Amino acid sequence: MRIKINVDLRVGRVIKYFILADLALLAGWGLVGPIFSVFVIERVAGATLVTVGIAAGIYWVLKSLLQLPIATYLDKKEGERDDFLALIIGLFVSAFTAIAYNFITQVWHLYLVEIIHAMAFALYVPAWSAMFSRHVDKDRVSFDWSLDSTVAGLSAGVSGILGGAVASAWGFHWVFILAGIFSAVSAFVLIMAPDFIFPPRTTENPVIKDHTPANISH
Protein backbone atom coordinates (compact mmCIF):
# COMPACT_ATOMS: atom_id res chain seq x y z
CA MET A 1 0.00 0.00 0.00
CA ARG A 2 1.44 3.32 -1.07
CA ILE A 3 0.65 6.51 0.79
CA LYS A 4 1.30 9.66 -1.19
CA ILE A 5 1.37 13.02 0.57
CA ASN A 6 1.47 16.20 -1.49
CA VAL A 7 2.52 19.35 0.37
CA ASP A 8 1.33 22.57 -1.23
CA LEU A 9 3.77 25.27 -0.16
CA ARG A 10 1.78 28.15 -1.64
CA VAL A 11 0.67 30.78 0.86
CA GLY A 12 -1.01 34.18 0.66
CA ARG A 13 1.12 37.19 -0.18
CA VAL A 14 0.91 38.78 3.27
CA ILE A 15 1.82 35.54 5.02
CA LYS A 16 4.74 35.14 2.62
CA TYR A 17 6.15 38.52 3.66
CA PHE A 18 5.73 37.75 7.35
CA ILE A 19 7.46 34.39 7.03
CA LEU A 20 10.34 36.00 5.11
CA ALA A 21 10.65 38.64 7.84
CA ASP A 22 10.73 35.98 10.55
CA LEU A 23 13.29 34.00 8.56
CA ALA A 24 15.65 36.98 8.26
CA LEU A 25 15.31 37.97 11.92
CA LEU A 26 15.88 34.48 13.35
CA ALA A 27 18.68 33.76 10.90
CA GLY A 28 20.49 36.84 12.18
CA TRP A 29 20.04 36.07 15.85
CA GLY A 30 20.77 32.41 15.18
CA LEU A 31 24.33 33.50 14.38
CA VAL A 32 24.68 34.98 17.87
CA GLY A 33 23.48 32.01 19.91
CA PRO A 34 26.48 29.66 19.59
CA ILE A 35 29.11 32.32 20.36
CA PHE A 36 27.35 34.52 22.91
CA SER A 37 28.70 32.88 26.08
CA VAL A 38 32.25 32.74 24.72
CA PHE A 39 32.02 36.38 23.64
CA VAL A 40 30.91 37.53 27.09
CA ILE A 41 33.62 35.58 28.92
CA GLU A 42 36.42 36.68 26.56
CA ARG A 43 35.47 40.29 25.84
CA VAL A 44 33.62 41.67 28.89
CA ALA A 45 35.85 42.67 31.79
CA GLY A 46 35.14 40.66 34.93
CA ALA A 47 32.45 38.52 33.30
CA THR A 48 31.85 34.95 34.46
CA LEU A 49 29.37 32.23 33.62
CA VAL A 50 27.14 33.76 36.29
CA THR A 51 27.21 37.01 34.29
CA VAL A 52 26.02 35.13 31.22
CA GLY A 53 23.17 33.60 33.20
CA ILE A 54 22.11 36.96 34.64
CA ALA A 55 22.18 38.52 31.16
CA ALA A 56 19.96 35.75 29.79
CA GLY A 57 17.65 36.10 32.77
CA ILE A 58 17.32 39.87 32.26
CA TYR A 59 16.31 39.33 28.65
CA TRP A 60 13.77 36.55 29.18
CA VAL A 61 12.15 37.93 32.34
CA LEU A 62 11.86 41.51 31.04
CA LYS A 63 10.62 40.44 27.61
CA SER A 64 8.02 38.16 29.17
CA LEU A 65 6.73 40.88 31.48
CA LEU A 66 6.72 43.67 28.89
CA GLN A 67 5.00 41.86 26.05
CA LEU A 68 1.77 41.34 28.03
CA PRO A 69 0.94 45.05 28.53
CA ILE A 70 2.14 45.78 24.99
CA ALA A 71 -0.15 43.07 23.63
CA THR A 72 -3.05 44.42 25.70
CA TYR A 73 -2.47 47.91 24.33
CA LEU A 74 -2.29 46.68 20.73
CA ASP A 75 -5.49 44.67 21.17
CA LYS A 76 -7.35 47.77 22.36
CA LYS A 77 -6.29 49.85 19.36
CA GLU A 78 -8.53 49.50 16.32
CA GLY A 79 -6.96 48.41 13.08
CA GLU A 80 -3.46 47.16 12.34
CA ARG A 81 -1.36 50.26 11.86
CA ASP A 82 -0.32 50.34 15.51
CA ASP A 83 0.70 46.67 15.28
CA PHE A 84 2.70 47.41 12.13
CA LEU A 85 4.45 50.38 13.77
CA ALA A 86 5.34 48.33 16.86
CA LEU A 87 6.65 45.58 14.59
CA ILE A 88 8.93 47.88 12.60
CA ILE A 89 10.21 49.69 15.69
CA GLY A 90 10.95 46.37 17.36
CA LEU A 91 12.95 45.17 14.36
CA PHE A 92 15.05 48.32 14.09
CA VAL A 93 15.72 48.31 17.84
CA SER A 94 16.72 44.67 17.45
CA ALA A 95 19.20 45.68 14.73
CA PHE A 96 20.59 48.40 17.01
CA THR A 97 20.95 45.88 19.84
CA ALA A 98 22.97 43.47 17.71
CA ILE A 99 25.41 46.20 16.65
CA ALA A 100 25.62 47.48 20.25
CA TYR A 101 27.21 44.20 21.39
CA ASN A 102 30.38 45.29 19.58
CA PHE A 103 30.79 48.18 22.02
CA ILE A 104 30.32 46.20 25.24
CA THR A 105 33.34 46.26 27.55
CA GLN A 106 31.80 46.23 31.04
CA VAL A 107 29.25 43.99 32.72
CA TRP A 108 26.77 46.83 33.14
CA HIS A 109 27.02 47.52 29.40
CA LEU A 110 25.93 43.93 28.78
CA TYR A 111 22.97 44.21 31.13
CA LEU A 112 21.87 47.50 29.54
CA VAL A 113 21.99 46.00 26.05
CA GLU A 114 19.99 43.00 27.25
CA ILE A 115 17.30 45.38 28.55
CA ILE A 116 17.09 47.01 25.11
CA HIS A 117 17.11 43.57 23.49
CA ALA A 118 14.15 42.54 25.65
CA MET A 119 12.23 45.71 24.73
CA ALA A 120 12.79 45.05 21.02
CA PHE A 121 11.35 41.54 21.10
CA ALA A 122 8.57 42.53 23.50
CA LEU A 123 7.39 44.82 20.70
CA TYR A 124 8.03 42.35 17.90
CA VAL A 125 6.40 39.19 19.26
CA PRO A 126 2.88 40.49 20.07
CA ALA A 127 2.70 42.65 16.94
CA TRP A 128 3.95 39.92 14.59
CA SER A 129 1.66 37.30 16.15
CA ALA A 130 -1.41 39.55 15.92
CA MET A 131 -0.91 40.46 12.27
CA PHE A 132 0.08 36.97 11.21
CA SER A 133 -3.04 35.56 12.91
CA ARG A 134 -5.34 37.96 11.09
CA HIS A 135 -3.90 37.20 7.67
CA VAL A 136 -3.58 33.42 7.78
CA ASP A 137 -4.95 31.72 4.69
CA LYS A 138 -8.50 30.45 4.99
CA ASP A 139 -8.66 26.71 5.76
CA ARG A 140 -4.85 26.56 6.09
CA VAL A 141 -4.32 28.05 9.53
CA SER A 142 -2.33 25.11 10.89
CA PHE A 143 -0.19 24.89 7.75
CA ASP A 144 0.67 28.62 7.77
CA TRP A 145 1.79 28.53 11.39
CA SER A 146 3.70 25.29 10.86
CA LEU A 147 5.40 26.61 7.74
CA ASP A 148 6.62 29.66 9.64
CA SER A 149 7.89 27.46 12.47
CA THR A 150 9.66 25.20 9.98
CA VAL A 151 11.27 28.06 8.07
CA ALA A 152 12.29 29.83 11.28
CA GLY A 153 13.74 26.64 12.73
CA LEU A 154 15.71 25.82 9.60
CA SER A 155 17.08 29.36 9.30
CA ALA A 156 18.10 29.46 12.98
CA GLY A 157 19.67 26.02 12.69
CA VAL A 158 21.73 26.82 9.60
CA SER A 159 22.82 30.20 10.96
CA GLY A 160 23.70 28.55 14.27
CA ILE A 161 26.14 26.33 12.42
CA LEU A 162 27.55 29.34 10.58
CA GLY A 163 27.81 31.58 13.66
CA GLY A 164 30.76 29.75 15.12
CA ALA A 165 32.47 29.59 11.75
CA VAL A 166 32.05 33.34 11.15
CA ALA A 167 33.38 34.19 14.62
CA SER A 168 36.34 31.85 14.15
CA ALA A 169 37.25 33.20 10.72
CA TRP A 170 36.49 36.92 11.05
CA GLY A 171 35.85 37.65 14.71
CA PHE A 172 32.88 38.26 17.00
CA HIS A 173 32.18 41.73 15.60
CA TRP A 174 31.15 40.32 12.22
CA VAL A 175 28.62 38.02 13.85
CA PHE A 176 26.90 40.99 15.49
CA ILE A 177 27.12 43.13 12.35
CA LEU A 178 25.46 40.37 10.33
CA ALA A 179 22.79 39.91 13.01
CA GLY A 180 22.05 43.64 12.82
CA ILE A 181 21.88 43.56 9.04
CA PHE A 182 19.48 40.61 9.04
CA SER A 183 17.24 42.37 11.59
CA ALA A 184 17.16 45.48 9.41
CA VAL A 185 16.42 43.35 6.33
CA SER A 186 13.49 41.84 8.21
CA ALA A 187 12.09 45.33 8.79
CA PHE A 188 12.54 46.37 5.15
CA VAL A 189 10.81 43.20 3.93
CA LEU A 190 7.69 44.28 5.82
CA ILE A 191 8.04 47.94 4.86
CA MET A 192 7.80 46.83 1.22
CA ALA A 193 4.47 45.12 1.88
CA PRO A 194 2.09 47.85 3.19
CA ASP A 195 -0.16 47.71 0.11
CA PHE A 196 -0.88 44.07 0.86
CA ILE A 197 -1.45 44.68 4.55
CA PHE A 198 -3.37 47.95 4.19
CA PRO A 199 -5.44 47.94 0.98
CA PRO A 200 -5.56 51.33 -0.77
CA ARG A 201 -8.42 53.58 0.28
CA THR A 202 -10.97 54.06 -2.49
CA THR A 203 -14.58 55.20 -2.58
CA GLU A 204 -15.68 51.80 -3.86
CA ASN A 205 -13.41 49.74 -1.61
CA PRO A 206 -12.97 51.02 1.95
CA VAL A 207 -9.88 50.11 3.93
CA ILE A 208 -10.09 46.64 5.42
CA LYS A 209 -8.61 46.86 8.87
CA ASP A 210 -8.44 43.15 9.65
CA HIS A 211 -8.91 40.53 6.95
CA THR A 212 -8.12 36.97 6.09
CA PRO A 213 -7.34 36.20 2.43
CA ALA A 214 -10.18 34.35 0.72
CA ASN A 215 -7.78 32.53 -1.58
CA ILE A 216 -4.10 31.95 -2.15
CA SER A 217 -2.17 33.98 -4.67
CA HIS A 218 1.38 35.05 -5.37
pLDDT of the residue at 3? 45
State the pLDDT confidence band at 9, using cuts at 50, 70 and 90: low
pLDDT of the residue at 116? 97
**Could you report the per-residue pLDDT of 190-217, keeping only the tens digit for each?**
888 766 566 555 545 444 444 444 444 4
Q: Please check whether residue 17 is in contact with residue 143, taking contact to mean a CB–CB distance below 8 angstroms.
A: no
**Could you report the per-residue pLDDT of 108-159, keeping only the tens digit for each?**
999 999 999 999 999 999 999 888 888 887 777 888 888 888 988 898 889 9
**Could you report the per-residue pLDDT of 33-75, keeping only the tens digit for each?**
889 999 999 999 999 999 999 999 999 999 999 999 999 999 9
3-class DSSP state of 113: helix
Q: How many CA atoms lie within 13 A of 104 on its CB side?
A: 29
CA distance 121 to 158: 21
**Could you report the per-residue pLDDT of 62-116, keeping only the tens digit for each?**
999 999 999 999 998 887 888 999 999 999 999 999 999 999 999 999 999 999 9
CA distance 164 to 7: 34
0.85 surpassed by pTM: no
pLDDT of the residue at 17? 87
**Could you report the per-residue pLDDT of 154-175, keeping only the tens digit for each?**
988 899 889 989 998 999 999 9
**Could you give the angle at which helices 13-32 and 172-191 cross, rounded to 10 degrees?**
170
pLDDT of the residue at 45? 92
Q: What angle do CA 206, 20, 92 make, to 5 degrees?
A: 85
According to CATH, the topology of domain 14-194 is: Growth Hormone; Chain: A; (1.20.1250)
Name every residue whose Cβ is closer than 8 Å to that of residue 152 and which is 6 or more positions away in sequence.
22, 23, 26
